[in-house]
Amino acid sequence: MKRFVWRLQRVLDIRKKEEQKARAELLELTGRLAERRCELLTQQKMLEDIINGLTGENPKKRLGKQEFFLKFSAASDEQIKKLEDKVNELELQQRAKITEVLKLRRFKEGLEKLRTETKMQFIKEQERLEQKQLDEGATVLFVRKTQSKVRS
């Protein structure tokens, strides 16, 4: 029986590798996004803790600390804004990468389905040819037996 060879196998292999690469990039991107979100939450939590700490202080001590906090908060707010912008940018990149991965997956699955259908057709054709050979062999054998009986 002939071995099944599909002409588009190389394309399928390339698409599989592209999908794996895109998935790895998506995973790495998701990791960076999680890190940035964690940094953002940490910064916000620090500011919240400082504010909560100031509200519970003695008013005389609080004024000095409050002044320092106000100077610090401008820089902190700028840092939080940069982190929020980075998080938004990473989320956009993540959505784009998810779209790319899904597109590659659909294309790959379409190729795999096409390969399966082609292989089934190949197997049916091979079985048909094999059956044809067996039928021809049986016919030849029958003709030989009948001719040998006629001669005898």
C-alpha distances in Å from residue 2, one per residue of 30, 119, 126: 47, 12, 8
Reduced to 3 states (helix: H, G, I; strand: E, B; else coil), residue 55 is helix
pLDDT category of residue 33 using cuts at 50, 70 and 90: very high
- The chain-wide mean pLDDT, for the chain, equals 90
pLDDT at 86 over 80: yes
Task: Give the Cβ contact number of residue 74 at 10 Å.
Answer: 9
pLDDT tens column, 95-131: 999 999 999 999 999 999 999 999 999 999 999 999 9
Is the pLDDT reported for residue 140 higher than 80?
yes
Amino acid 54: pLDDT: 76
Q: Is the separation of the CB atoms in 16 and 112 below 8 Å?
A: no
**Range from 48-52, 80-84, 147-151 that averages highest in pLDDT:** 80-84
In this predicted structure, the answer to whether residue 5 has a pLDDT above a threshold of 80 is: yes
Q: How far is CA 73 from CA 45, 51, 93, 127, in A?
A: 13, 10, 30, 79
- The per-residue pLDDT for range 46-66, each reduced to its tens digit, is 888 888 877 777 777 777 777
Structural domain boundaries of the chain?
A: 9-113
